[in-house]
Structure 1
Amino acid sequence: MCGNFELTADDLKALDAGDGEALNDHGAACYRAGDYARAVEYYRLAAGLGEVTAIVNLGYCYLYGRSIVRSTELAIAYFKIAARKGSVDAMYKLGDIYSSSKWGVEDKQRSAEYYEQAIEQLLTPAWAFSADLHLAVKRLLPYPSLCYALGREYLSRDLDLACQFLLLAHVGYQIFIEGGEDYYCKADREVEDLLGQSCFADRRKKWAQVLF
Structure 2
Amino acid sequence: MKNDYNEDEFNFDDEVYEELTQDKIYLNEGADAYQRGDYETAIRLYKKSADMGNITALSNLGYCYYYGRSIPVDKDKARECWEKAAILGDIAAVYKLGDMYRYGDLPQNLDFSHALYKRAFILATDNSENYYVAPDAFLRMLKYYPDDIAEMGYSKLTIALSCVTGIKKRIAEGDNYSAKVLADAKTVLLKLIDEQI
- What TM-score results when the alignment is normalised by the length of structure 2? 0.74
> Please, which moves more after superposition, 162-171 or 143-152?
162-171
**For residue 113 of structure 2, what is the aligned residue in structure 1?**
111
Q: CA deviation at 1:164?
A: 3.5
Q: CA deviation at 1:155?
A: 3.9
Aligned equivalents of 1:110 and 1:186: distance in 2?
25
**What pairs up with 1:149-168 in 2 under 5 angstroms?**
149-155=140-146, 161-168=155-162
1:145 to 127, 136, 140: 136
**For residue 200 of structure 1, what is the aligned residue in structure 2?**
193
> Please, which moves more after superposition, 185-194 or 155-164?
155-164
Q: Is the 8 A contact 1:169 1:191 kept in 2?
A: yes
Q: CA deviation at 1:150?
A: 1.0
Q: For the structure 1 residues 165 and 140, does the alpha-carbon distance in structure 2 shift closer, same or farther, using more than 3 Å as the test?
A: farther
Amino acid at match of 1:19: Q
**For residue 8 of structure 2, what is the aligned residue in structure 1?**
none
1:73 to 70, 73, 76: 76
1:180 to 166, 174, 186: 174
Q: Percent identity?
A: 26
Give 5+ residue unaligned stretches, structure 1. 1-16, 124-135, 205-212
Q: CA deviation at 1:202?
A: 5.2
Name the SS for the 1:196 alignment partner. Answer: helix
Name the SS for the 2:177 alignment partner. Answer: helix
Give 5+ residue unaligned stretches, structure 2. 1-19
Q: CA deviation at 1:137?
A: 8.5
Q: For the structure 1 residues 139 and 30, does the alpha-carbon distance in structure 2 shift closer, same or farther, using more than 3 Å as the test?
A: closer
Q: Alpha-carbon deviations, 1:67-86, whole Å to 9, x = none? A: 22211111011001001111
Aligned equivalents of 1:185 and 1:78: distance in 2?
25
Amino acid at match of 1:78: C
Aligned equivalents of 1:157 and 1:49: distance in 2?
37
Aligned equivalents of 1:140 and 1:73: distance in 2?
27
Q: For the structure 1 residues 22 and 179, does the alpha-carbon distance in structure 2 shift closer, same or farther, using more than 3 Å as the test?
A: closer
Q: Alpha-carbon deviations, 1:95-150, whole Å to 9, x = none? A: 2222224x354321111111222233345xxxxxxxxxxxx684475511111111
